[in-house]
C-alpha cells in the first residue's frame, strides 16, 4: 500500500458509515492521522478519532473541527461526505424537506469548509474532496430535491476551487453512482422484495454490479493525495460507467 498520506492529517465528515468510513480507513491505511465527524461517531474505531457533530449546527461543527485539528496537530485534508437522500418529484417534497436536505448536503459543506480553511491554509498539501453524486448532472427521475442538492455541491466545488487555488487549497469532488452502503441497504430493505430489487438494480449498472464504498474511497484518496497536486476544480465519476458509457440494449 502506497503511504502517500504519511504525516498528513485528515478529517472525514459522515465518517461513521458507508463511503465516509471506508475513506477514513483507507486514508489511515495510507499513513494519515484521521478524525471522523458524524452524528453517530459510536461506530468509529481506533486509531481513528471520533467527534460527534451535526453539520446543520454551526456551533457543533466549529467545535468538532477545532477539536479534530487540535487532536491531529493541524489539518491537511477535509472530506465533506456527510449527506442524506430524498425521493420524489417537485410535487412530493414540501418546503421543510427541501430546506432540511439542502441544509445537510449543501450548507453542511459550507460550514465544515469555513471552519477548516484556517487550518488548511497552514498546510503544504491542503486538499478538500466533496462527495457529490451522478445525480448532479444525470437527470434522474424521482430525485428532484436530491439532484438539486448535489447540483449545488458540484457548482460549489468549482467555485470554491477558484476562490482558494492561490491559497494552495485544492478542491475537487467525486460523483458516485449507486454504491453498496448502509444507505442503499435501507432503500432495498424498504422494497417489497429486497432480493429482487437488488438484482434489478445491479442489472441496470453497466458493470452489472454496484460500486463498492472502497472504490469511492479510492477515488477520494486519489484526489486528496499529494500525488494529485495539480488537480483542482474537477469532478471524478465513480459510477461503473453509468454516465460516461453510452450503452444501448442489443
Ligand atoms: P450512509 O448513510 O451509509 O453514511 C452517511 C453518514 O453521514 C452517516 O454516518 C450519517 O450518520 C452521517 N450524517 C448524516 N447526516 C449528518 C449530519 N447532519 N451531520 C453529521 N453527519 C451526518 O451513506 P453513504 O451511502 O455512505 O453516503 C455518503 C455520501 O455519499 C452522501 O453525501 C451521499 O449523498 C453520497 N452518495 C451516496 C451514494 C450511494 O449510492 N450510497 C451515491 C452517490 C452519492
Ligand 1 interacting residues, C-beta cut-off 6 A: 14, 16-20, 38-40, 54-56, 81-84, 104, 131, 133, 176, 178-179, 181-184
Residue 105 Cα to ligand 1 midpoint, Å, equals 9
Residue with the nearest Cα to atom 23 of ligand 1?
183
233 vs 170: CA distance, rounded Å: 7
Ligand 1 nearest atom to the CA of residue 105, by list position = 32
Q: In whole angstroms, how large is the CA radius of gyration of the chain?
A: 18
250 vs 32: CA distance, rounded Å: 46
0.95 surpassed by pTM:
yes
Ligand 1 nearest atom to the CA of residue 178, by list position = 40
List, for residues 97-129, the tens digit of each pLDDT value: 999 999 999 999 999 999 999 999 999 999 999
pLDDT band at 46 (very low <50, low <70, confident <90, very high): confident
User: How many other CB atoms are there within 10 angstroms of residue 246's CB atom?
Assistant: 7
pLDDT the model gives residue 44: 74
**Residue 227 predicted with pLDDT over 70:** yes
Tell me the average pLDDT across 42-64: 91
Please choose from 181, 201, 217, 239 the residue to mutate so as to test ligand 1's pocket, defined by most ligand atoms within 8 A of CB: 181
105 vs 63: CA distance, rounded Å: 19
The β-bridge relationship of strands 9-13 and 77-80 is: parallel
Whether ipTM tops 0.90, in short, is yes
SS3 sequence of 52-66:
ECCCCCHHHHHHHHH
Residue 248 Cα to ligand 1 midpoint, Å, equals 31
Please choose from 82, 84, 185, 207 the residue to mutate so as to test ligand 1's pocket, defined by most ligand atoms within 8 A of CB: 82
Residues carrying an active site annotation: 146
Cβ pair 61, 113 in contact under 8 A:
no
Report percent pLDDT > 70 for the chain.
98
Residue with the nearest Cα to atom 4 of ligand 1?
17
* Count of residues making up the chain: 250
> DSSP of 122-187, one letter per residue?
T-SS-EEEEE--THHHH--TTBHHHHHHHHHHHHHHHHHHHHHGGGT-EEEEEEE-SEESHHHHHH
* Nearest Cα residue to 21 out of 37, 5, 4: 37
Residue 250 Cα to ligand 1 midpoint, Å, equals 35
Please choose from 35, 183, 198, 220 the residue to mutate so as to test ligand 1's pocket, defined by most ligand atoms within 8 A of CB: 183
pLDDT band at 249 (very low <50, low <70, confident <90, very high): low
**Residue 223 predicted with pLDDT over 70:** yes
Amino acid at each position: 500500500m502506497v503511504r502517500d498520506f504519511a504525516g498528513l492529517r485528515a478529517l472525514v465528515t459522515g465518517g461513521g458509515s458507508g463511503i465516509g468510513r471506508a475513506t477514513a480507513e483507507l486514508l489511515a491505511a495510507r499513513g494519515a492521522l484521521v478524525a471522523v465527524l458524524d452524528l453517530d461517531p459510536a461506530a468509529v474505531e481506533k486509531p481513528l478519532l471520533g467527534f460527534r457533530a451535526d453539520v446543520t449546527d454551526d456551533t457543533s461543527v466549529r467545535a468538532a473541527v477545532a477539536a479534530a485539528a487540535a487532536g491531529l496537530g493541524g489539518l491537511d485534508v477535509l472530506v465533506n461526505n456527510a449527506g442524506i437522500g430524498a425521493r420524489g418529484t417537485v410535487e412530493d417534497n414540501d418546503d421543510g424537506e427541501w430546506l432540511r436536505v439542502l441544509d445537510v448536503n449543501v450548507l453542511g459543506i459550507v460550514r465544515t469548509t469555513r471552519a477548516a480553511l484556517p487550518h488548511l491554509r497552514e498546510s503544504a498539501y491542503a486538499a478538500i474532496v466533496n462527495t457529490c453524486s451522478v445525480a448532479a448532472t444525470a437527470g434522474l427521475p424521482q430525485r428532484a430535491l436530491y439532484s438539486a442538492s448535489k447540483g449545488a455541491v458540484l457548482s460549489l466545488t468549482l467555485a470554491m476551487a477558484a476562490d482558494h487555488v492561490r491559497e494552495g487549497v485544492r478542491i475537487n469532488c467525486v460523483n458516485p453512482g449507486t454504491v453498496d452502503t448502509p444507505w442503499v441497504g435501507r432503500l432495498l430493505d424498504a422494497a417489497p422484495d429486497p432480493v429482487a430489487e437488488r438484482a434489478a438494480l445491479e442489472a441496470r449498472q453497466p458493470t452489472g454490479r454496484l460500486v463498492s464504498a472502497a472504490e469511492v474511497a479510492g477515488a477520494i484518496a486519489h484526489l486528496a493525495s499529494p500525488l494529485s497536486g495539480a488537480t483542482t476544480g474537477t469532478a471524478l465519476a465513480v459510477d461503473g460507467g453509468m454516465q460516461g458509457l453510452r450503452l444501448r440494449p442489443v
